[in-house]
Amino acid sequence: MSGARANVSDRRSELADFLRGRRMRAAPATGVAFAGKRRRTPGLRREEIAQLAGLSVDWYTRLEQGRDVNPSRETLEAIARVLKLDDDERGHLFYLARPEPAGGAARSAAQKERAEPAMARALEAMRVPAFVFSPRFDVLAWNEAACRLLVDFGDVPPRKRNLLWLTFRHAAYRARYADIGTIEREVVAAFRFSASSYVGDPEFDALIADLLETSEAFQVIWARHEVRAKVSGTKAFRVEDGGAPLLLEWHTLASTTSSRQQLVYYMARAAGGPEDERRLAALCGAAADEGAAVKRAQG
């Protein structure tokens, strides 16, 4: 099987898993009844999806089984409406349902990627914790403030210098978050959104397979098929000043090039008051004293 055909097959399988997951989480349809059938499982039945979307049960079943069917835009819109998908989930559905990715082959996301020059320059201008990461969530460059807030990325082996792996497997990194359960769910949903553009990429597949084998928490969350393209928010960190968890805003800057790299930075909340600013400044000041030069992955 050619690489392009294998990728299409992988995408159909991912689409099937996504549809099943969303169907199981959808609320039972009001006003749709099937005589003689008692509801034994949560969510909607395939018959309900088909009826509400104006599709045949056989056709929808084949779509959900990953069979060779090519839904139209109107059909996908109907399915998204019935499943009540949000904008991120809808985009994920439309991407996976395309006959093949742009250019006829899967994109590549090599693990040895380097931070592109523009992203590195932006990072150098940051005086708050910040780092650059790839679509596979590999950390490519960082500053000293990020090391003090999270973990010294330079001490992490290159193959494990990955936000998904760190979130589930690195004890010190996990301990920095006051609510690791929320972080786990958010990072998986964001990774899944990114990974939909790289279905069949061996580097992505290897990372997912490793975590499915070694992390029960990842297994549970991955099976939910949640998708979220989150670009900002608030996180609570445990910092080494003996105080309560420090709430920081985080924002991302996305590259406009094909690298799809992102830079994430943390700053004091507007509503946090001078105390949050003081604590963050103390952390960043300590980083500056130690030398805040940007550090980059070396392979």
pLDDT tens profile 12-25: 888 888 899 889 88
Residues 87 and 204 in one domain: no
Of 58, 76, 104, the residue that ends a domain is 104
Domain presence at residue 111? no
Question: Residue 5: pLDDT above 90?
Answer: no
**Has residue 90 been placed in a domain?**
yes
Q: Is the pLDDT of residue 233 over 50?
A: yes
Of 61, 80, 104, which closes a domain?
Answer: 104
d(C-alpha 163, C-alpha 138), whole Å: 6
pLDDT level of residue 240 (50, 70, 90 thresholds): confident
Residues 240, 274 within the same domain? yes
* Residue 24 and residue 122 share a domain: no
Quick one: 62 and 210 in the same domain? Answer: no
Its pTM stands at 0.78
Q: DSSP string covering 42-87, please?
A: SS--HHHHHHHHT--HHHHHHHHTT-S----HHHHHHHHHHHT--H
Q: Could you give the CA distance from residue 292 to residue 277 in angstroms, rounded to a whole number?
A: 19
162 and 290 within one domain: yes
- Structural domain ending residue among the three candidates 104, 136, 161: 104
What digits encode the pLDDT tens for the residues 18-62? 899 889 888 775 544 454 455 566 788 899 999 999 999 999 999
Are 178 and 279 in a shared domain? yes
- Mean residue pLDDT across the chain: 85
244 and 97: one domain?
no
CATH of the domain at 215: 3.30.450.180
A 10 A CB-CB count for 206 gives 13
Per residue in 101-110, pLDDT (tens digit) is 444 344 555 4
Answer for the pair 263, 252: CB distance below 8 angstroms, yes or no: yes
Percent share of the chain, pLDDT over 70? 84
Q: Is 14 within a domain?
A: yes
What is the tens place of the pLDDT at every residue in 175-188? 999 999 999 999 99
Provide the residue range defining the domain that includes 291: 117-296
Q: Are residues 226 and 276 in the same domain?
A: yes
* pLDDT range class, residue 100, cuts 50, 70, 90: low
Residue 67: predicted pLDDT: 86
Q: Is residue 71 part of a domain?
A: yes
